[in-house]
Amino acid sequence: MKFSLLLLSLLSMSACAMGPNAAHKKEVAKIPPVKTETVDTPNETTVNVIYQEIKKEPLTKPAASKAPILKADKPVLISVVGQGVAPMNTTSPAQAYALAKRAATADAYRLIAEKVKGVNVDGQDLVKNMMVKRSTVRTSVQAMVKNANIVETTFKDGLCEVEMEITLSHSQFSH
């Protein structure tokens, strides 16, 4: 009897020393990630608790922003397709082709400039009485492009398409 009393008192003391949350914490540690458990709170109300183990990783910037796009040993090839149409008042199909090709070439140059240098975008919306009255988007680019090559030209149904390529190497920008 004495022995059992001693054992009980020892158990109660150890329980008090660990505190009320100790048992709870011990249980949390055992629960595998993403699992719903029913836990009896000291106030005897049953609640559903969701546990999820979250591995914290140090915040780092994306790798793409750190790595240089142009590497010394690897030139970058940029390919675009520009489109142009002939004006309505052409005197011959040959003239229409020449003018459409000129427009398509300029469009291809613009696409290269946009890819290499980027585009400025400016937007404006006018809302009156909860309705969009005017929506404006302005884009612009300004650049200088040289040594671009025309790879292929096609002319079909009044639309001229010019495929253009440019090779960017590290040495072009290093000096």
Number of residues that bind other proteins (CB under 8 A): 32
Check binding of 144 to other proteins (CB under 8 A): yes
Check binding of 137 to other proteins (CB under 8 A): yes
Binders of other proteins among residues 92 to 111 (CB under 8 A) are 98-100, 102-103, 105-107, 109-110
Tokens describing residue 112: 């290269």
Whole-number minimum distance, CB 51 to other proteins, in Å?
A: 51
Check binding of 136 to other proteins (CB under 8 A): yes
Distance (Å) of CA 167 to CA 1, 21, 75, 114, 172: 93, 66, 6, 15, 10
Check binding of 154 to other proteins (CB under 8 A): no
Asked if residues 84 and 101 have their Cβ atoms less than 8 Å apart, the reply is: yes
Q: Which residues contact 121 (CB under 8 A, 6 or more apart)?
A: 137, 138, 139
Residues that bind other proteins (CB under 8 A): 83-87, 98-100, 102-103, 105-107, 109-110, 113-114, 134-148
